Structures are given as C-alpha cells and as structure tokens.
Structure 1
C-alpha cells in the first residue's frame, strides 16, 4: 500500500506554509495592482509591487527548504545533486534571506524617491472609493495570515516562515496606514482643507517606505553574519565548555574549536590534542568518546555538521 501524498498546502510543514503564503501573496499583489490603477494610487501600486517581490522571494525560500530537506534525507544522499553539493545547502538560506531583505529595502527606497517627487509636484489625485475598499479587504486578509503564520511557526520554528510572518505584519501595517489616509482624505473633501487631499497618497507612501526600509534590517544583518561565518558567541561558549570538560576528564593536552552558524545549520569542528604517550585505544572506544561529545553538545540534528578529531600533532589542530 503506497503512502498518501503530502498535501501541497499542509499547514503543519514548512513547505506547506510557504506554498500557502505564496498563493495568498500572489492573489493580494494582483488585487493591489488592479485597485491601484482603478484608484490612480501610487501607494496601492507599490503595495502590489512589494507583494510580487515577496512572492518571488518566498518561492526561492521554498526551493531552498526543499533542497535542505533533500540533502539531509538518507535516501537521497547518492543523488547527483548531493554529489555536486557534498557540504549541503545550508549556505543558500542566509543568501536568500539577505537578498530578500535587500530587495525589499531597494524597492522601498525607489518608491520613497517617487513619493518625494510627487509631493514636490503638487501631489496626486486619487479615487477614494476603490482605495478605501482595497484597504479594508487588505487589512482583514493580511492580519489573518500574519496571525496564522506566527501560530503555526511556534511548532515549526522556521526562519523563512518567521520572515514571511514579518512581511505580512508589515503589509497589514501598510494597509492600515492606507485606510487612515484615505478616510482622512474623504473627510477633508469639500472643506477648506481639501487642498491637502492630493498630498495624502505620496505622503503616506513616503512614511510606509521608511518603515519598510527599517523592518528587514535585522534579517539582513543576521544573514550577512551567517554568510561571513561570524561565530555566534553563545554557541562558541557552549562548545568550549564541553571541550574543556572532555580535556580535563580524559587528560588531553588541549583542544581547538571552530564554530559557525549558516542559516539553520550549525558547523562545529573540534580537534583534541592527545599526549603522544597516551595508551592506545581501540577505534570503537574513540567512536564512543565522539558520541559522548556529540550528546554533550546537544541533541543530534540533521542541521548540525559535527567533526571531531583526535591527534598528537598540534599542527593538525591549527
């Protein structure tokens, strides 16, 4: 009996949630472009462009997730792809996260320049009816998706899903800003403040762009740290504590540790310098010691690359 095929939009898996987000983002982006042209609103059109960028980057995130999953699956270790990428695909995760955040910042910067130009040119007349309708529908959909994604990610714990959840929060905040601005413009119409209405769309767009440029900075900074293989302080301290304990209990001379975090993957290399006159041990005994060190470092995971070496030559440990 063949096992049932996994559901494409399974909310209990990382790939299923990302697929769901891609479909929702595509629908929202298409609606934003349509309503943006109907309302003649650069603010709403930017929302559509922002959504399309999010669709592309979420799709790339899904691809990387699938590659990482394949590389850690024993049944596929001999595949041609794995033979070409013997060190795995963890390095792709921070690259995609970094590019995604950078694209968001770049799009917001370009839209901000256009907003400033519109403000200096007398503003932009918009149709407030379609604009208000779009803002209401967007808020309902985006808040619902943000809450759903954050809830399911409590059990999944994915950086990709976490970033996607942040993007939905940003989108909901943008829609709320639209709604306030458009309702304000509707209320000002027919009053002696009506001259301000054309400036509402570019002014709120500028504020939104500034917010969008700040939101991904943390993700970009962390992605850059992973790409540059900057050692996490907490992980290094934990590895050093375990290594010092092993050196003290087994009478080794010293150790060297090399630690990096690449996306969800942890790369740990430990070299122990053993006395040259240390009594010979069977290979099985050395393997048991490796298992002991691995357990002390933490629960075994397919996302941990662990190398443990014993030598009497310090040059091998440098």
Structure 2
C-alpha cells in the first residue's frame, strides 16, 4: 500500500512539474524574465529528478537477487544526493548568470505576462505541497518528502517573483522607474542565496547514509532496547552496529555470553532474546535488517 501510494504521488508530481516547467521556460523566453526562466529550468530539472526517484522506488520494492543480495535500498540515498547536488549547481549557475546580467544594466521583462505566470504557478505549487504533505503521512517516503520540499521551494520562489513583479509594476512612471531593469536579476540572486541551503541539507543527509554514518538516535534506541536484556543471567557484554540506507535500518547486535549459557539456554532462549530486543525498536519490521549473534568467545564480539 505505501509503495503504491508513493509511486502515485511521484507520478502526479512529475505531470504537474512538466506543466510548470513548460510554462516557465516558454513565458520566461517570451517575457524576457530571467527569474521566470530560472523557475522553469528549475522545474524541468526537478521533473527529471522525480522521474529518477520514481524509477528507484520501483527498484527498491523488488526482491533481492544473487547479484544484489541485500536488495536495492542503497540506491535511495544515492539518488537523493544526486538530486540535491544538481539543484545546488543550478542555483550556483543561476546566481552567476543573474549577476552578469545585473552588471550589464539588468533586464526589463513584460510585467503583464510575468504577473499572470507568478499567480498561476504559485497556486499550483502550494496546492501540490499541501496535497503531498497530507498523502505522505501515509506513504512515509523520503523521496516524497524531498519532492514536497521542492514544491514548497518552488512556491516560495514564485511568490517572491509575484511580489517583485508587483513592486516593479508599481514603480512604473515614478522616480524609481530606473530601478525596474534590476528587479528581475536582483530577485534571482537573492532567491538562489536563500534557497540553496535546502538542497545542501538534502545532500548532507543523503551522504551520511551513503557513507553509512551511524544515526545517533538509532544507536541510542538499540542500546536502550539492550539494557533490560543484559540483565539476564549468563549475558556478559554486547556490541551493536547500526546504519540507515534509504528506508531500511541495518541493526547488528553481538552478545557475549558465558560458556554455559548456550548449553543451558538453547535456541529457544536465543530467539526469546531476539524477540525482546525487536520489541524495543520503533521502526516497522519490514524496514529493518536485524541480526543478533551470540558468542562465548571474546574475539567474536
């Protein structure tokens, strides 16, 4: 159910993004607005990234194979990191391009077309953001979470465009009319500086998973689950190893026992301990790769 819902959300998002990007590129070129053109190109890249995300979600739901014996979960953070990196590069390029135009005297777009675009696209972006946020409460998808952040970012960008174009329209025929050519390019530079931290955070979070940095909260949760278990007689010490890759949590626990424990307890007690540890973990069973090993030899801990 969540996987199907996730794919439906991403498919809807791709369709909407293609509409917005086509409007942005076309009206950006017609109106002469670099800000609208940037918005359209941003949406085009976002659509491509959403298609990549959709392809990855379909892959991760497949059964493991002899070649990918642990499944395809590792592709999720890799795709997310690529998504964020592309958006960072786009912001960097847009800033430099706008700065060059600003230094040449700016540009004056057709404000009527620009205002119509900003109103229509703002409504689309915020509608998609609120719809996806509501649906993702059930889907619980990292890709959808990133996608709805992109819709929020696009909506805020377009709202800022609307405010700036209204300001430029109000400046016509006044003593400030000479500043109108600088409104469009100045806005692009400000927007790229304000919003570049969002894809940077996406890259940072995804690269932590690619590099298998242990999530501190998961590590604390596993150790908290082990505390009551280690009160059992015959259990001497333990060590745990955790990582997160996409939607899957990898948890390994190695428990050092007395030599007599395995002989007296048997497999049934070991399974009982596994169940007790699992009961102390918050993530769903289908989202964890959970291993508990027992040894009476210190070197295997």
Whole-Å separation in 1 of the counterparts to 2:204 and 2:177: 43
> Which residue does 1:3 correspond to in 2?
none
Measure the CA separation in 1 of the matches of 2:282 and 2:258.
Answer: 27
- Does the aligned pair in 2 maintain the 1:11–1:17 contact within 8 Å? no
CA distance in 2 between partners of 1:300 and 1:121 (Å): 57
1:50-73 Cα deviation digits (max 9, x unpaired):
0011111111111221122223xx
In 1, distance between residues paired with 2:277 and 2:191?
Answer: 50
> Secondary structure of the residue that 1:241 maps to in structure 2?
helix
> Superposed, which structure 2 residues align to 1:245-264 within 5 Å?
245-264=228-247
Residue in structure 2 matching 1:50, options 16, 36, 42: 42
Aligned-partner SS, 2:294: strand
TM-score, length-normalised on structure 1? 0.89
**Matched-pair contact (CA < 8 Å) for 1:252–1:273:** yes
1:295 deviation in Å? Answer: 2.3
Q: In the alignment, what sits opposite 2:118?
A: 135
Which segments of 5 or more consecutive residues in structure 2 lack a partner in the other structure?
Answer: none
SS at match of 1:124: coil
* In structure 2, distance between residues paired with 1:188 and 1:135: 18
Equivalent in the alignment of 2:10: 18
1: CA distance between counterparts of 2:207 and 2:7? 24
The match for 1:74 is none
Match of 1:286 in 2: 270
Aligned-residue Cα RMSD (Å) equals 1.9
Call closer, same or farther: CA 1:299–1:28 in 2, change over 3 Å: closer
Are residue 109 (structure 1) and residue 92 (structure 2) matched?
yes
Query: Could you give the per-residue CA deviations for residues 219-242 of structure 1, whole angstroms, max 9, x where no partner exists?
Result: 222112111211112211121122
Displacement, 1:216? 2.1
Matched positions, count: 300
Task: Tell me the SS of whatever aligns to 1:179.
Answer: helix
Q: In the alignment, which residue of structure 1 is the partner of 2:289?
A: 305
Q: Taking structure 1 as reference, are residues 297 and 181 closer, same or farther at Cα in structure 2, changes over 3 Å only?
A: closer
Q: Identify the residue that residue 69 of structure 2 maps to in structure 1.
A: 86
Instruction: State TM-score, norm by structure 2.
Output: 0.94
The offset of 1:158, in angstroms, is 1.5
**8 A Cα contact 2:17 2:43, kept in partner:** yes
Q: Is the 8 A contact 1:12 1:152 kept in 2?
A: no
